[in-house]
Amino acid sequence: MTPDPNRLDNLLVENRKFAPPEKFRAQANFNDESIYETAAKDPEGYWAKQAENLTWFQPWNKVLEWDAPHAKWFVNGKLNVTYNCVDRHREGPRKNKVAILWEGEPGDTKVYTYDMLGREVDKAAHMLKSLGVKKGDRVTIYLPMIPELPIALLACAKIGAIHSVVFAGFSSKALHERISDADSELLITADAGWRRGGLIPLKANADEAVVDSPVKKVLVVERVGEKAGVEMTQGRDVYWHDLMKQAPSTPFPAEEMDSEDVLFLLYTSGTTGKPKGIVHTSAGYLLGANTSMRSVFDLKDEDVYWCTADIGWVTGHTYIVYGPLSAGATAVMYEGSPDYPTRDRFWEIVEKYGVTIFYTAPTSIRTFMKWGTQYPQSHNLDSLRLLGTVGEPINPEAWMWYHEHIGHGNCPIVDTWWQTETGSAMIAPLPGLTTTKPGSATRPVPGISVAVVDEEGKPVEPGNGGYLVVTKPWPSMLRTVWGDDERFKKTYWSQFKGYYTPGDGAHLDEDSYVWILGRIDDVINVSGHRIGTMEVESALVDHPSVAEAAVIGRSHEIKGQAITAFVTVKEGVETSSDLVDQLKKHVVEKIGAIARPEEILFAAELPKTRSAKIMRRLLRDIAEGRVLGDTTTLADPSVVESLKQQYKDSE
Ligand code: WT7
């Protein structure tokens, strides 16, 4: 296990408890404690009951077919995800309700009612069809946080095409890799994106990414205009607005999809160099998203809900697009950064729209703490009634700060543990029922069963730590890894028989609350983003000067973890601060800015065991300045001494 041992020490003294405020409990969607027991006794019955909140074209005839590790949920059911997210609301009293309140970085705004959104989605679906997109085709989407992004997702889902969104912060090489793996013939991008007043050259990146790829057409949204200076390639590139103008304004009939038809792929980092295309299907995924909006987020028709994530990650898929829209919410969508143009941007948005439910990441909360309370204090935040966090363990101090300075002591906090693979929130409080403890995601939501187990797969007693596992299949679980079912079985289902292994360590307290300790595999979590150490190592070794590289995550005050790279250079290469800069730049080009190492240390040799394995734990200890444990298995102990010395010198 590699989670930060200091964290466990902190946790053991954390005993503050916060019962749901009476006022909240009284109005909560889920306010009957017996739901936990009912769902635990009959999870399939629970999910079947929740599935009544979706609109089906044809009912299923079996809730679950479980041929471990392959699941089929709602067998033979037929539905369309976009019909559920948009059209069914257009047919009822929510027709003219606001669906999306969009706030652009430069302060431009757009408002879409469900009816307006539906018309745009239908036009976009006609447009995709005119480009030859059919059910089952993969469409890669590389867009900033503009309304065309959810519209593109919903248009794909309406046709039955499989979308694969690539976060706009990824490099052209990372985009190329994901396009090729998904075998997409269409790429949707923008001329450029805004970022703190500057431009992200999305079209230029896309131009590089599509070389030697399956892409035949590039659909370009104009976000920035002339300033972006894009070059359009005749016969390949077309403007979104040109085709939208030509698209018929008639309704686009929703494709009837099987419950198990693939809805989307989303690439995520693993322990090997190659990102995995996580496969989610239609009914089960939508059900997980929809149910958690009502249970964990206590969504009501009157709410103004804001999730600050980017749709490029799973949080945005589930809690900006599919969850809120399927539940008929009014949701804020923001294009920009929290500090542009000023550090009160988020609080200004909360006040402006009267946000009632606010969902963000611990790394942002720590940043706000550092900036100081004057920024939230300069705005009226009284509209807020519920707060959420996701992406990494939240340290109790940050939880308390969030509770006091954003929630003013009145708002329950839902710390939601889940993953790209789980599709929706798995361990989280139900805000009207669960007593929270700062730093714990508390207990699994109804219908989900988890355990903390030891090396043998036996559940640990309360008070102990081990591996977190999910013990029963759930509707929004990943179905496979795109094109690599073996990897799916090996990565998630081989460690403990019959259990899903997420790769996190956890501690179970005396009330059987779960405290997530962090990843126990070679994956690091930088500002809530998952980065494989192998990916960064491969990027470094790809540089002509590098012989070998070892990458670790060390604790970082704001980011949670930061990337430290230990590098040995090839014979004859001079190490210099210039080379450090070059190597950092190289990683950014290969992967994206999120993978930029915080520091790079040159070593004559990397510490290895006698069986030639790099001792990462040792490197982590060196990087965190901790006392070193057992180094007796080390082939050459002097390597450690010289590394330690160097690390000190570099500080
Ligand atoms: C990993 C999944 C799910 C959306 C964001 C990240 C960590 C996520 C929590 C939480 C402690 C958390 C885990 C997990 N994580 N939420 N509330 N408390 N850790 O999705 O990129 O698939 O990463 O993020 O380590 O395995 P992802």
* Residue-wise pLDDT tens digits, 297-328: 999 999 999 999 999 999 999 999 999 999 99
pLDDT at 612: 79
Q: List the one residue out of 298, 291, 326 whose CA is nearest residue 476.
A: 291
In which region does residue 625 sit, left (phi positive, over 0), alpha (psi from -120 to 50) or beta (all else)?
left
pLDDT at 1: 42
Q: How far apart are CA 344 and CA 364, in angstroms?
A: 12
* Residue-wise pLDDT tens digits, 252-262: 999 999 999 99
According to DSSP, the residues that pair with 453 across neighbouring strands are: 459, 467
State if residue 89 touches ligand 1 by the CB under 6 angstroms criterion.
no
Q: How far apart are CA 559 and CA 520, in angstroms?
A: 18
Q: In this structure, what token pair is assigned to residue 490?
A: 């090996």
Atom in ligand 1 nearest the alpha carbon of residue 519 = 25
* Residue-wise pLDDT tens digits, 525-582: 999 999 999 999 999 999 999 999 999 999 999 999 999 999 999 999 999 999 999 9
Atom in ligand 1 nearest the alpha carbon of residue 420 = 22
Q: How far apart are CA 639 and CA 37, in angstroms?
A: 55
Task: Give kind and range of the element (H or E) at residue 99.
Answer: strand 98-103
Angle between helices 577-590 and 533-541 (to 10 degrees): 120
Place of tokens 């807020």: 384
State if residue 417 touches ligand 1 by the CB under 6 angstroms criterion.
yes
Atom in ligand 1 nearest the alpha carbon of residue 530 = 21
Helices (H), 382-484: 396-401
- Residue 590 near residue 174 (C-beta atoms within 8 A): yes
Atom in ligand 1 nearest the alpha carbon of residue 441 = 17
Give CA separation, 305 vs 64, 102, 299, 356, in Å.
32, 12, 8, 6
Q: How far apart are CA 146 and CA 334, in angstroms?
A: 8
Atom in ligand 1 nearest the alpha carbon of residue 528 = 6
Q: How far apart are CA 505 and CA 515, in angstroms?
A: 9
* Residue-wise pLDDT tens digits, 586-600: 999 999 999 999 999
State if residue 415 touches ligand 1 by the CB under 6 angstroms criterion.
yes
* Residue-wise pLDDT tens digits, 149-197: 999 999 999 999 999 999 999 999 999 999 999 999 999 999 999 999 9
What DSSP character marks residue 594? G
Give CA separation, 636 vs 570, 610, 614, 619, 642, in Å.
20, 9, 12, 14, 11
Q: How far apart are CA 51 and CA 38, in angstroms?
A: 16
State if residue 292 touches ligand 1 by the CB under 6 angstroms criterion.
no
- Closest residue CA from atom 24 of ligand 1: 391
Q: In this structure, what token pair is assigned to residue 642?
A: 């010289």
State if residue 441 touches ligand 1 by the CB under 6 angstroms criterion.
yes
Q: List the one residue out of 615, 614, 611, 607 whose CA is nearest residue 636.
A: 607
pLDDT at 11: 55
Place of tokens 């941007």: 345
pTM: 0.93
pLDDT at 650: 64
Q: How far apart are CA 185 and CA 205, in angstroms?
A: 17
State if residue 391 touches ligand 1 by the CB under 6 angstroms criterion.
yes
- Closest residue CA from atom 14 of ligand 1: 419
Atom in ligand 1 nearest the alpha carbon of residue 428 = 17
- Residue 621 near residue 6 (C-beta atoms within 8 A): no
Q: How far is the CA of 250 from the centre of ligand 1 (A)?
A: 41
Give CA separation, 279 vs 54, 170, 262, in Å.
21, 20, 7
State if residue 476 touches ligand 1 by the CB under 6 angstroms criterion.
no
Q: What is the number of other CB atoms lying within 10 angstroms of the CB of residue 301? A: 11
- Residue 454 near residue 466 (C-beta atoms within 8 A): yes
Residue 620: pLDDT band with limits 50, 70, 90: confident
Q: How far is the CA of 246 from the centre of ligand 1 (A)?
A: 42
Q: How far apart are CA 389 and CA 392, in angstroms?
A: 8
State if residue 310 touches ligand 1 by the CB under 6 angstroms criterion.
no
* Residue-wise pLDDT tens digits, 83-98: 999 999 999 999 999 9
Q: How far is the CA of 489 from the centre of ligand 1 (A)?
A: 20
State if residue 425 touches ligand 1 by the CB under 6 angstroms criterion.
no
Q: How far is the CA of 455 from the centre of ligand 1 (A)?
A: 22
Residue 632: pLDDT band with limits 50, 70, 90: low
* Residue-wise pLDDT tens digits, 400-439: 999 999 999 999 999 999 999 999 999 999 999 999 999 9
- Residue 268 near residue 276 (C-beta atoms within 8 A): yes
Span 16-45, average pLDDT: 97
Q: How far apart are CA 208 and CA 510, in angstroms?
A: 54
- Residue 40: partners with Cβ closer than 8 Å, 6 or more residues away: 446, 449
- Residue 137 near residue 112 (C-beta atoms within 8 A): no
Atom in ligand 1 nearest the alpha carbon of residue 503 = 26
CA angle at 478 for the pair 472 and 482, rounded to the nearest 5°: 145
State if residue 392 touches ligand 1 by the CB under 6 angstroms criterion.
yes
Looking at per-residue pLDDT, the higher value among 632 and 249 belongs to 249
Question: Is the CA virtual torsion 220, 222, 228, 232 positive or negative?
Answer: positive
Atom in ligand 1 nearest the alpha carbon of residue 518 = 25
* Residue-wise pLDDT tens digits, 166-175: 999 999 999 9
Is 5 a residue whose pLDDT tops 50?
Answer: no
- Closest residue CA from atom 19 of ligand 1: 392
Pairing between β-strand 504-508 and β-strand 514-519 as defined by DSSP bridges: antiparallel
Q: How far apart are CA 462 and CA 303, in angstroms?
A: 37
According to DSSP, the residues that pair with 141 across neighbouring strands are: 165, 188
Find the farthest-apart pair of alpha carbons in the chain and give their distance in angstroms, rounded. 74
Q: How far is the CA of 467 from the centre of ligand 1 (A)?
A: 15
Q: How far is the CA of 504 from the centre of ligand 1 (A)?
A: 9
Q: List the one residue out of 505, 508, 423, 506 whose CA is nearest residue 462.
A: 508
Q: How far apart are CA 607 and CA 605, in angstroms?
A: 7
State if residue 393 touches ligand 1 by the CB under 6 angstroms criterion.
yes
Find the radius of gyration of the CA atoms of the chain: 24
- Closest residue CA from atom 17 of ligand 1: 417
